[in-house]
């Protein structure tokens, strides 16, 4: 997938977790997040000099 899922795409899945997890990009993120410590904080802002 070249772009993130938009809200309308996510809404199609509704509350069906199994269908959502069948999406490869969602599964990749969930697997990544599952291995993080509960107090893990990812910085998403770039630091400019």
Give backbone dihedrals phi and psi of 48, rounded to 5 degrees, phi first. Answer: -105, 145
Taking only the tens place, the pLDDT of each residue in 9-36 is 888 888 888 988 998 888 998 999 998 9
Give backbone dihedrals phi and psi of 19, rounded to 5 degrees, phi first. Answer: -65, -40
CB 24, CB 1: distance < 8 Å: yes
**pTM over 0.75, yes/no:** no
Q: What is the C-alpha to C-alpha distance for residues 37 and 14, in angstroms, rounded to an integer? A: 28
Q: What is the C-alpha to C-alpha distance for residues 22 and 17, in angstroms, rounded to an integer? A: 9
Task: Give me 16's structure tokens.
Answer: 């069906």
Element holding 22 (H helix, E strand): none
């Amino acid at each position: 997938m070249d772009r993130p899922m938009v809200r309308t795409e996510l809404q199609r899945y509704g509350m069906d977790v199994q269908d959502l997890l069948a999406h490869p990009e969602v599964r990749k993120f969930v697997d990544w997040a599952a291995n993080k410590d509960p107090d893990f904080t990812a910085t998403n802002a770039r630091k400019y000099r």
